[in-house]
Amino acid sequence: MHITPDFAQLKEKLKASWIAGDFGQIGKFIAKEGEHFVQRLALQPGMMVLDVACGTGNSAVPAAHHGAIVTGIDIAPNLLEQARHRAAAEHLTIQFDEGDAENLPYPDQSFDAVISMYGAMFAPRPERVASEFARVCKPGGLIAMANWTPDGYVGKSFRVTSQVAPPPSGIPAPTLWGDTSTVQQRLGPYTSSLTLTRQIARMRYPFSPKETVAFFRQYFGPTRTTFSRLDPPAQADLSQQLEALWIEHNLASDGTTEVEAEYLEIHGIRR
């Protein structure tokens, strides 16, 4: 597929945003959610599983613990390196490849299950993601995703950020992958059945809301990149808005931060 210079530059910027920071620091706080997600997939030993936009292995590692033969792919080499160390520490054999969710480097019908948790939803061409998931999945296989919803906590956070620092024009909002009608349009043509279930991720941080904003600003690549594009007054404004959102949704009363973040869990059976 021909890619224009402008789009190639956009892809490089997106890749750089995920390389920035240290997602491993963020990922460890939602690792349990990866275990819950994988548990509900009912993977069987020996199944060939592809984890797309695998990050530091929050889904790939528990899938391997279930006995699956797992391959993880991500655009960010530093996240893959952390995933490899994590798998080795847990005595698991997982193949981790650098690559793009929109152009998966695997033959047709290679996997029994193709999964992605809070990952492939950020690729700028969702129609390519859907077609690639379907292409590499065997007929009768499982396509599963976990995607933040537009109206959940993370979706609200994305909206706050995009109002201060608008994303590139023409790129669909990532949280559309958490909208049921949009998912049906994107994956319906490739699946014989599609089960969509709203789930809640409990996000707990041992910091105050203000410190949680600083934590994400330091370690979450897209947030770090967004702040770097802003002048000091805009940075202060965004920090205040994000802190107010954490405070509004905070369930903790002991000085720490805990919110419930809704996501849409997708289980599709490949035609």
With cut-offs at 50, 70 and 90, classify the pLDDT of residue 3. low
With cut-offs at 50, 70 and 90, classify the pLDDT of residue 77. very high
3-state helix, strand, coil in the chain (%, to 5): 50, 25, 30
Q: According to DSSP H, which parts of 165-231 are helical?
A: 180-187, 209-219, 221-228
With cut-offs at 50, 70 and 90, classify the pLDDT of residue 271. very high
With cut-offs at 50, 70 and 90, classify the pLDDT of residue 214. very high
CA atoms within 13 A of residue 44's CA, in its CB half-sphere: 5
pLDDT score for 169:
86
Q: Which domains does the chain have, with CATH numbers?
A: 5-150+168-201+262-270 (3.40.50.150)
What does DSSP say about strands 257-270 and 137-148: parallel, antiparallel, or unpaired?
antiparallel
Is the model's pLDDT at 121 over the cut of 90?
yes
Is the model's pLDDT at 195 over the cut of 70?
yes
Q: How far apart are CA 87 and CA 135, in angstroms?
A: 27
Local structure of 248: helix, strand or coil: helix
pLDDT score for 190:
98
Say if residue 128 is exposed, middle or buried (CB neighbours under 10 Å; 0-12, 13-18, 19+): middle
With cut-offs at 50, 70 and 90, classify the pLDDT of residue 14. very high
Rounded average pLDDT over 71-79: 97
What does DSSP say about strands 69-74 and 95-98: parallel, antiparallel, or unpaired?
parallel
With cut-offs at 50, 70 and 90, classify the pLDDT of residue 170. confident
pTM score of the predicted model: 0.96
Q: How far apart are CA 43 and CA 60, in angstroms?
A: 12
Q: Which letter does DSSP use for residue 188 in this model?
A: G
Local structure of 203: helix, strand or coil: strand
Q: What percent of the chain shows pLDDT beyond 90?
A: 96
pLDDT score for 204:
98
Local structure of 69: helix, strand or coil: strand
pLDDT score for 4:
75
Residues near 74 by beta carbon (within 8 Å), at least 6 away in sequence = 18, 53, 54, 55, 80, 83, 96, 98, 99, 119
pLDDT score for 2:
54
CA atoms within 13 A of residue 228's CA, in its CB half-sphere: 14
Contact 144, 191 (CB under 8 A): no
pLDDT tens column, 204-213: 999 999 999 9
How many C-beta atoms surround the C-beta of residue 163 within 10 A?
Answer: 11
Average pLDDT, the chain: 97
Is the model's pLDDT at 1 over the cut of 70?
no
